[in-house]
Amino acid sequence: MSQTITAPYSHTPLILNNRRLIVVSNREPYHLVREANTLRLEKTTGGLVSALDPVLQSTQGLWICWDSSNNNCRFDELCRLAELNNIEIPYEIAPIKLTEVDVAGYYDGFSNRQIWPLFHYFTSRYAFDEGDWDSYYQVNRKFARAVIEKASPEDLIWIQDYHLMLVPQLVREASPDFNIGFFCHIPFPHYEVFRMLPTRKEVLHGILGSDLIGFHTPSYTRYFMECAEKLLPGQVSIVDSNTLVYKNRRIIIQDFPISVDFDHINGLASLPETEEAVQQLKQSFPHGEIIGLGVDRLDYTKGILERLECISMFFERYPEYRKRLVFIQIAVPSRIKVQEYQKMKQEIDEAVGRINGRYSEDGWTPIHYLYRSFPLEELVAYYRAADFALVNPLRDGMNLVAKEYCAAHPDYHGVLILSEMTGAAHQLKASFLVNPYDHPAVAEAIYRAINASSEEKSIRMEVLRQNIQENNITRWLKNYLLTFNDAIKLRRYAFQ
């Protein structure tokens, strides 16, 4: 299952200085699906895999990951089966097998019941559990051992996200000469929030094992620098706004806002079959003169319940839009085994039923709720069909849905209403920015957005699309890797 490497990635071997790139992440880039007597290789969805998969293919890289496969045998056994079935795995994947106890403590526990709520400012949902921390530490050691076993001093080791914050220092302790980068895909919180974490110093020490530390926005970078300076006095010294010294090493801390594959999404949106799907969607909503859209993973940070209340308030304040506007809410299942998420799904189900019960009339239903995953090709048709997208997370590291929505509008039609609490708001200032906690203001923003002139909508969308096209996923990758090289030189020169 090899793929043709597209032109934007042709420069990558030069940026890497012909080094091998080793990606370390919680999620695997591919998984093998066994159906009856057949075996199929399937790429994992998501921006990170989309960005890095072509690079690893073009440079014969390595991806170290958790083997989260639901198959009844290990990933390496399935790889042998794949070879027997003539299924080509495009580069080396080194999966780490975790026990159910590991997953419960490291993933469900410390990562998602402690770090996730704390870093997203949901402090009331945070409660420290020492057992979860112990599990997190042990699993991070497993990942670090896999890196140490596989890596050489010339490789570029790029560790991804909050699941693996201890790995950089654990690897550094084994070999001071390793080239280590880290990227945090969620917000990094302010000092007053971060210091609530009992293991705050251990987490900082872990991340500071890196040569380059990346975040989405300047504010996350600034917060990390402040936490390191205040919580590790005498161990960290600030050189400038993007550099500090730790254990006699200069470390670069910088913002690299992640993005989407603009050309791919724009191309999908321009296909005749997409246009046909858009027309079918519109015809399926006879009272859908105006179509609004929300797309989210089912998570309390995304503000889905709050969004539904804003839609209800909109219909209360502007009754003339009843039987004219429909709102489609797509919720992608997430952490379905966690009781808290099960409860949230029930609350959303009830809110949809309550609002539809209140406003529905003469065959018109205001909210259409779709609880399932969508392939990108199908999702692009929903983006194209929507006259506005309401993206109102209560806190979000970036939010790629906002960027995908704009990339899917080559007709310059459509309006983006975006939460100020997203990392994307730092770039997408031509959207209608809202405070997601101010429900009346969000309802008002919906009214202003749909009543803006065609010229205003077109100008806003043109500015948004130009920003996303220029700052696409390829640029994110290129900027990080180029800065990674600078960080390695900085460390090596320091010891010459």
For the chain, helix (H) and strand (E) counts, in that order, are: 19, 17
Buried/exposed code over 355-394 (b: 16+ C-beta within 10 A; e: otherwise) = bbeebeeeebbbbbbeeeeeebeebbbbbbbbbbbbbbbb
> What is the token pair recorded at 244?
């500090």
In 10 A of CB 152, how many CB atoms?
A: 13
| 486 among known catalytic residues | no
Contact present, 30 and 68 (Cβ < 8 Å): no
- DSSP code per residue over 23-91: EEESS-SEEEEEETTEEEEEEPPSHHHHHHHHHHHHHT-EEEEE----SSS-HHHHHHHHHHTTPPPSS
Give the C-alpha separation, 441 to 394, whole Å.
14
Q: How far apart are CA 26 and CA 12, in angstroms?
A: 24
Token representation of residue 383 = 């983006």
> Of the listed 31, 185, 205, 409, which one is catalytic?
185
Query: Could you tell me the two tokens for 306?
Result: 């709050």
Annotated active-site residue 185? The verdict is yes
SS3 content of the chain, % helix, strand, coil (to 5): 50, 20, 30
Report how far residue 436's alpha carbon sits from residue 310's, in angstroms, rounded to the nearest whole number.
9
Choose, from 161, 205, 396, 439, the residue flagged as catalytic. 396
Tell me if 393 sits within 8 A of 254, measured CB to CB. Answer: no
244 to 35, 91, 189, 434, 481: CA distances (angstroms): 51, 35, 19, 35, 19
Structure tokens at 171: 């690897």
List the structure tokens of 141. Answer: 């050691």
Please provide residue 48's backbone torsions phi and psi, each rounded to the nearest 5 degrees: -65, -45
164 Cβ partners below 8 Å, 6+ apart? 24, 25, 26, 140, 143
If you search the block for the tokens 């039609």, which residue do you land on? 413
Could you give the residue ranges of the DSSP H alpha helices within 218-361? 218-231, 262-269, 272-283, 304-317, 339-359
Contact 278, 385 (CB under 8 A): yes
CA–CA gap between residue 29 and residue 58 (Å, rounded): 15
User: 327 has which bridge partners?
Assistant: 292, 367
Q: Which residues are catalytic?
A: 185, 396
